[in-house]
Amino acid sequence: MAITLDEVLALGESWCDTLRHGGTIAEREAFFLHHPARIYVQESGVSMTLDEHHAYHEQFASQHLVLGDFVLAQLSDEPERVRAIGSFYWEAHFPDTDGRPPLRCIVGEDWIIERTPEGLKFVLWMNTLHHFLPDSAVDRLTLD
């Protein structure tokens, strides 16, 4: 059975829930086929462990994520793999009250996903771009 767009979006939503609701590193690690998992940020050449990714996201008081459009390319039947390319809107609010606006960004995603007996797992996760919106607090933030 081919991996469907609905399945990929459900996986993405489940991942985003761990950021929205303060999920643990162990919860995020479970989304990946290979351990230790890494997230690759193409535009800067940085790769992040899930510990580093977690520490980065811990600086925010709240986060709002909305999956955008994704397209799929079936890669193989054995193992069953798909490439999912798309984006999501990410808004992160800082805990301080100095009037700093939230970070607002469109994040490009390029994922290789495999069906396993436990469900879908990320084989490779690449952030392809971070397009910060004009009213974003990006001037006070670094991705590496």
43-80 pLDDT, tens digit per residue, is 888 899 999 999 988 888 889 999 999 999 999 999 99
Residue 60's alpha-carbon distances to 31, 68, 88, 93, in angstroms, are: 22, 22, 18, 6
**Phi-psi group of 107: left, alpha or beta (phi > 0 → left; psi -120 to 50 → alpha; rest → beta):** beta
Q: Which domains does the chain have, with CATH numbers?
A: 5-140 (3.10.450.50)
Is the pLDDT assigned to residue 103 strictly greater than 80? yes
Residue 119 in tokens: 């469900």
**Distance (Å, whole) CA 130 – CA 42:** 10
Residues 62 and 94: their CA atoms lie apart, in Å, by 7
Compute the mean pLDDT over every residue in the chain, rounded to the nearest whole number: 91
pLDDT per residue over 10-52, tens digit each?
A: 999 999 999 888 889 999 999 999 999 999 998 888 899 999 9
Given a cut of 50, whether residue 125 has pLDDT beyond it is: yes
Local confidence band at 98 (pLDDT 50, 70, 90 cut-offs): low
As a whole number of angstroms, the distance between CA 16 and CA 53 comes to: 13
